[in-house]
Each structure stands twice: as C-alpha cells, then as structure tokens.
Amino acid sequence: RSKEEGGGQHFNYEPSLHAHAEERRKLEFSLRRALERNEFVLNYQPVVDAKDESIVSFEALLRWHSEEHGFVSPAKFIPLAEDTRLIVPIGEWVLREACREAANWPSNVKVAVNVSGEQLLEQNFIATVVGALSSSGLAAQRLEIEVTESIFVRDSSAARGVLEQIMALGCGIALDDFGTGYSSLAYIRNLRFSTIKVDRSFVQGAAADNPESLAIIRAVVAMAESLEMSTTAEGVETERELAIIRGLGCRKIQGYYFGRPMPATDARALFGRPQLQRVGA
Ligand code: C2E
Ligand code: MG
Ligand code: MG
Ligand code: MG
C-alpha cells in the first residue's frame, strides 16, 4: 500500500512535491530515534463476542507521540516505517510489549498484533515470535497475528510458509481488512485463518442498506462458517450497525461502540466488570 504514495515513480512537477519530500525526510529522521526515546505506546481495543458481549480479545494498536511532530497517525508513520524497514525493529517491540501486557490478563482473553509484510518476511520473524512468547510466558494460543491480503502480493508462497510456522506454534492468524485489497480465495483455500476481519467499509455499507455490502458480508460469513473460521466485524460504531452485523451472523464485534483503543491500564480495568459500557447505553 505504501509504495504508491510518495515513491519516486512519477515526476509531475507539482510545487508541493518538494515540501512533501522534505516533510517525509523529517518524519523519517524522528522515526529512526523513536524506539530509543521510548516514544511508542500500545493502545488496546476490545473485541467482543457478538452473542454475549464478553471480551474475547484486544487488538494492540501502535501510537507514536513524537517529540518533534506530536501525535502522528499510524496511517502516516506505518507506511513510512515499512518503506524504510524500520517496521522490523518497531514491530519486534510491539510483539514483545503486547505479549508482556497480555500475560497479565485473564487466560481466556487473547491479544491480536498487526504484522506488516516487510516484518513477516524478515529472516528472524519466527524467532521474534517465539522470543516474545517465551519471555512473557504468554501461551501461543493467546496470540493472534493480524495480516492483510497485501502480504501475499509480493511472495505469496514465502508468506504462506511463515504463517504456517506461526500456526504450528499454536498462534491464530487473522486476515485483516478483508475485502479491501486483492481479495483472492486462493489464500483462504490454502491457509487455515482463525478469523476473517470484515472491513469497516462493508459494515458502513450494510448499515446504509447497500445491497452489495450486505450480500458480501453474508457470503463472507457463510464461507468462514463452513471453513470453521471465525469472523470479526470491524469499526462498529452504532446500535444500528451492531444490530445489522448481529443479524448477518458475524461472531465477533470490534468498534467504537464497545470501546476505542485505550491505554493498557484502562484495558485492565475492564476485567473487573461483567459487561462493557456501551457507547449508546
Ligand atoms: P487495523 O489493523 O485495521 O486497525 C483498526 C483501525 O480501525 C485502528 O486504527 C482503529 O483505531 C480503527 N477503529 C477501530 N474501531 C473503529 C470504529 O468504530 N470507527 C472508526 N472510524 N475506526 C475504528 P489505527 O489505530 O489508526 O490503526 C490504523 C492501522 O495502522 C491499523 O489498521 C493497522 O493496519 C496499522 N497498525 C496499527 N498498529 C500497528 C502495528 O503495531 N503494526 C503494524 N504493522 N501496523 C499497525
Ligand atoms: Mg488489525
Ligand atoms: Mg483492520
Ligand atoms: Mg480496517
């Protein structure tokens, strides 16, 4: 995804091009120092069971508070980290930190960690996962790795090989943002994903009575069910979206309606409660 943006491919002489490149260079300079300066923090967003609304997992989401740039959105710095391969050490920190935190949670609650293609295909990735699990004491079954379809574009068999090794450890693999990339059923035929995450754009479409979105969610849920994979609806914000998604049979729900990404201490505080405080309640 990131290669299209800001790459050196097109030479249209826009006046903003230079300023854009300059800003990127500054951001990269800061990003190179962010790990050692402890500028990263993980937030955790709850994922709930669609039936009883109990917490099944949290997705770890990276936040960067830069000394020079203030808060920088992941949409901005993750592509930059991928282009510069800084995502490899940053991603290793994310894995270790997420596993360390999740080891404190009730044992039925999992943690989901996003992994970029650059990181997945890196030599030491399996060793990094094994290290994060063993140093934290987290059971492999409680770690779910989230990947997007884009990881299969460059070297699909290599990506598949790594994911199979991760599964052999006992970890789950979730297919993130499903339906937004080069969705190919071949990946789904060849790999036993634990979860398919239906992108928020389909959730929004369904709530707007868009017949195509409704049909696609219905088809994805049916396919996942018959392949014994779970489904998560991403980005559920409203009561209406929740009702529609429930009606379509998604197994798990994630979105602002049940909770925004939050600091680790706030996530821990939720375990004392029987049910999440809904936004709409
Ligand atoms: P993602 O993995 O699809 O994560 C879900 C994104 O949707 C998060 O954005 C989350 O805050 C947002 N979201 C959740 N519920 C709602 C909702 O109800 N409404 C709306 N409007 N948004 C919602 P965030 O945290 O900005 O992250 C964006 C993307 O950055 C992630 O998308 C993921 O692709 C990437 N990312 C985040 N952390 C990491 C990381 O540690 N490593 C890697 N490689 N990528 C990461
Ligand atoms: Mg994700
Ligand atoms: Mg997603
Ligand atoms: Mg998404």
CA-based diameter of the chain, in Å? Answer: 59
Residue 77 has pLDDT above 50, yes or no: yes
Residue 15 has pLDDT above 90, yes or no: no
Which residue's CA lies nearest to atom 10 of ligand 1? 261
pLDDT tens sequence across 250-277? 999 999 999 999 999 999 999 976 566 6
For residue 200, how far is its CA from the centre of ligand 4 (angstroms)?
Answer: 6
Tell the residue number behind the tokens 């821990």, with chain if given. Answer: 268
Tell me the residue type at 132: A
Q: What is the pLDDT of residue 274?
A: 57
Long-range CB pairs of 139-142 (<8 Å, 24+ gap) are 139/107, 139/170, 140/169, 140/170, 140/171, 141/110, 141/170, 141/171, 141/172, 142/102, 142/107, 142/109, 142/110, 142/111
The answer, yes or no, to whether any atom of ligand 1 lies below 6 A from the CB of 147, is: no
The answer, yes or no, to whether any atom of ligand 1 lies below 6 A from the CB of 79, is: no
Q: What is the pLDDT of residue 259?
A: 97
pLDDT tens sequence across 133-190? 999 999 999 999 999 999 998 889 999 999 999 999 999 999 999 989 887 888 899 9
Instruction: Please report which ligand is nearest the Cα atom of 146.
Output: 2
ipTM above 0.85, yes or no: yes
Q: Are 173 and 162 in contact (CB under 8 A)?
A: no
Q: Flag the least confident range among 1-10, 18-27, 29-38, 218-227.
A: 1-10
Tokens coding 20: 């854009």
Which residue's CA lies nearest to atom 45 of ligand 1? 114
- Tell me if residue 250 falls in helix, strand or coil: coil
Q: Are 226 and 192 in contact (CB under 8 A)?
A: no
Q: How far is CA 235 from the centre of its chain?
A: 12
| Distance separating alpha carbons of residues 83 and 2, to the nearest angstrom | 7
Q: Are 10 and 30 in contact (CB under 8 A)?
A: no
Q: What is the pLDDT of residue 186?
A: 85
Per DSSP, which regions of 25-81 are E strands? 40-49, 55-66, 70-72
Q: What is the pLDDT of residue 281?
A: 42
DSSP for 193-231, written as a single string: -SEEEE-HHHHHHHHTT-HHHHHHHHHHHHHHHHTT-EE
Q: What is the pLDDT of residue 278?
A: 67
Q: What is the pLDDT of residue 185?
A: 87
| Distance separating alpha carbons of residues 145 and 185, to the nearest angstrom | 19
Q: How far is CA 245 from the centre of its chain?
A: 20
Tokens coding 191: 């790999």
| Distance separating alpha carbons of residues 53 and 159, to the nearest angstrom | 33
pTM greater than 0.95 (yes/no):
no
Instruction: Please report which ligand is nearest the Cα atom of 174.
Output: 2
